Chains A and B, each alone.
Chain A
Amino acid sequence: MLDDTLVATLTAQFFNGLTIGGIYALIALGYTMVYGIIELINFAHGELFMVGAFVSFSVLTGFGFAGPITDPVTLTWVLAVAFVLTMLLLGVLGISIERFAYRPLRNAPRLAPLITAIGVSFILQNLISAIYGGSSKPTPQVFPFAWRFEILGATIPWITVFIFVVTVILTVSLSQFIARSRMGRAMRSTAQDREAAQLMGVNINVTIALTFFIGSALAGAAGIVYGLNYGTINFTMGFSAGLIAFTAAVLGGIGNITGAVLGGFIIGFIQVIAAQLGYSRWTDAVVFSVLIIVLVFRPSGLLGQQVGERA
């Protein structure tokens, strides 16, 4: 027997899961793209999400917006500017990180860039903490939280839907870009065989830089929506979010765009279910246990391809 309050709770939690999952999916996309193209676990990627949240904070407060904007036209403009500016800045940051911390090590032993990634992660965290201070910051929630709709007895804020739509738009345009554009084809060929791609006239450096640009911009977008939805950000939130998002990417099959999004949403829902059952302090343990179990039975993730041994 399903009573009404239970249905309402479940509905509310479903939308919760969509929001969290969407944010993880956006971060996981960057992880999976970078891994796909240079086989680097970019531990600094989670920090880019955090930096994105702070940049959007500065952009919004810089233009003087502190509270909800109820005029739809202004809101659209403000959000568009915030998204474009933050994503551009983050993309440039991603490219610079690649240029200075990873590219010089492209021919080095594989663990070397992993360590610089950890170093970059320390740097970004502490730069942000030095600039904005160590305590949590309230972010301007320009998207009015009062805008809600009723469904199955639950009251859902529209921002949940907004975040989901943003995630879908970004993911679909990304996969179309990779599947159809010339640069997308360059990215796929570089991921498959860097040397051969270069021999066919692909500019490897530009292609890898572009991958970092897109991945970082997506992390920036995740940062904005996080700030809009939760209303408070701090400089430590990037690392753990990054780890969970990386888990999502692995769960879905690393290197696989659809897999990253699927993994993001699955983990979002796992967290929400764990919280609903009263185990919110255990969510991380639950997430990682699910990951371990899935990998034991499907060693390449849910949508990953089983690749044979390379010579």
Chain B
Amino acid sequence: MTARAALPSSPGLRQRLDALGTRHRSLTIILGMALVTALLPLIATLPPFSGFNKQIVWIDNFASAGVFILLALGLNVVVGMAGLLDLGYAAFFAIGAYAYAYGSSTFTDLSVPFWIMLPIGAVVAAIFGILLGAPTLRLRGDYLAIVTLGFGEIVPVVFRNASQWTNGTQGIAGIRRPAIPGVDCGSGGPLCFGAGSPLPYYIVMAILITTVLIVLYRLQDSRLGRSWQAIREDELAAASNGINTVTTKLLAFALGASVAGFAGVFSASKFINVTPEQFGFNVSFTVLAMVVLGGIGNMWGVAIGAFIIYMINSVLLKQLNAFFDTFRVPILSDIDFVQYQYLLYGLLLVAMMLTRPEGLFPNRRRAAELHVTDEPPGADVEGPDPSGPLGRGGT
């Protein structure tokens, strides 16, 4: 914040807004999220969007996109703030989802309320984060990445094969939907969670994201957040300045995992079944792509990146046929785009990354780090060592 104090004395509107945002951060987040939450369903009724889906379908999509926003925010703690590359993040998502499936489904015949399972799922995921982190966090850089990748593979394999406890590949169905205490949902109603009534899900998701954003922003500026940053930049220097690197990294892991746990519980309660296939590498990699494309380390950027990628991949690319049919574009309307959905997704990932290597909304501090040592053009052999997300040390 000291850098901002040194700005010229007559700040522009943007600076003033920024300063206000910094001083009342939690309030800004709440207002911002409330605004977005209120506007999105309205935007969905406007012409280009209303052509594809009904408003209710859009709201449903937004709620599902929220799961990925949560995941991206959680992974951002691990990768963006602490600089630990986690390639198996979906494992914690899976653990959260299965925790809810055990706590509230016909499979186990339990019905712990959703609201209680939310923190439980987060805690269970966090415990697994610590269990994985404790022995492995002294590994550096890409060795840690491959271990997390392995963990990300082991978890679905266990869920798939330990059939007597997890019902194998079919997964657990009959998961109970959340309910608001005291509201009778015998005949449905606006406050009831259901397949055809996504609004409560949407609002709960908005509240979850808001809470996570507030907590994470406060953490980022706390002693812990600064320790993460120090470790990310130079672990050795951080350690010699008295930061307990093991605990600090473990906390990043546990915290990231617990956010994934939230996402898992929510997701299980929305799709009311969980199967091991929902939590494969694709999920881990997609979430990582969201973080990097959004602007690693920048929470709003990451959230927007997640939203955009989810919408492109799960909504837009599936609707391309309808789109080109509607506008009768010659040739294009003859192609079956559903078949090429992932091809286009891959092309998009590459194209977006090539045009914005620092992400759509780069973290300011990171961007400054990247450019402060820029060498004059011509000497661009390696450029500034972009110690960037991971640091290069030790491999």
Partner-B contacts on A (CB < 8 A): 35, 39, 41, 43, 101, 104-116, 118-123, 125-127, 130, 194-195, 198, 204, 239, 243, 246-247, 250, 254, 281-282, 284-285, 287-289, 291-292, 295-296, 299-301, 307-310
Known A-B contacts A115-B293, A288-B150; the reply to A307 vs B395 at CB < 8 A is: yes
Partner-A contacts on B (CB < 8 A): 79, 85, 135-136, 138-140, 142-143, 145-147, 149-151, 153-154, 157-158, 160-161, 236, 281, 285, 288-289, 292-293, 296, 339-340, 342-343, 345-350, 353-354, 357-358, 366, 370, 380-384, 386, 388-390, 392-395
Known A-B contacts A41-B142, A110-B388, A310-B392; the reply to A123 vs B358 at CB < 8 A is: no
Q: How far is the CA of A38 from the CA of B85 in the complex (A)?
A: 17
Known A-B contacts A126-B342, A243-B281, A309-B236; the reply to A116 vs B354 at CB < 8 A is: yes
A291 lies within 8 A of B390 (CB): no
Q: How far is the CA of A111 from the CA of B348 in the complex (A)?
A: 16
15 CB contacts below 8 A, A to B, read A41-B142, A41-B145, A104-B354, A109-B366, A111-B292, A116-B353, A119-B347, A120-B350, A195-B381, A254-B142, A287-B150, A292-B136, A292-B151, A296-B139, A310-B392
B147 lies within 8 A of A292 (CB): yes
B139 partner residues in chain A, CB cutoff 8 A:
295-296, 299
B318 to chain A, nearest CB (A): 15
A115 lies within 8 A of B142 (CB): no
Known A-B contacts A110-B390, A111-B85, A119-B346; the reply to A105 vs B142 at CB < 8 A is: no
Query: From A109, which residue of chain B is reached at the shortest CB distance?
Result: B388
CB-based A-B contact count at 8 angstroms = 170
Known A-B contacts A111-B388, A126-B340; the reply to A300 vs B143 at CB < 8 A is: yes
Q: How far is the CA of A239 from the CA of B284 in the complex (A)?
A: 14
Query: From A282, which residue of chain B is reached at the shortest CB distance?
Result: B161
Known A-B contacts A125-B342, A282-B157, A292-B150; the reply to A194 vs B382 at CB < 8 A is: yes
Known A-B contacts A108-B357, A292-B151; the reply to A307 vs B346 at CB < 8 A is: no
A291 lies within 8 A of B150 (CB): yes
Known A-B contacts A110-B386, A204-B381; the reply to A250 vs B143 at CB < 8 A is: yes
A111 lies within 8 A of B153 (CB): no
Q: Which 9 pairs from chain A and chain B are nearest by CB?
A: A122-B346, A288-B150, A119-B349, A108-B357, A109-B388, A107-B383, A126-B343, A123-B346, A119-B350
Most central of A106, A116, A254, A281 by chain B CB within 10 Å: A116
B343 lies within 8 A of A130 (CB): yes
B32 to chain A, nearest CB (A): 27
A122 lies within 8 A of B345 (CB): yes
A113 partner residues in chain B, CB cutoff 8 A:
353
Query: From A119, which residue of chain B is reached at the shortest CB distance?
Result: B349
A39 lies within 8 A of B393 (CB): no
Contact of A118 among B161, B347, B349, B357 (CB under 8 A): B349
B349 lies within 8 A of A122 (CB): yes
B101 to chain A, nearest CB (A): 20
A111 partner residues in chain B, CB cutoff 8 A:
79, 85, 288, 292, 296, 388-390
B348 partner residues in chain A, CB cutoff 8 A:
119
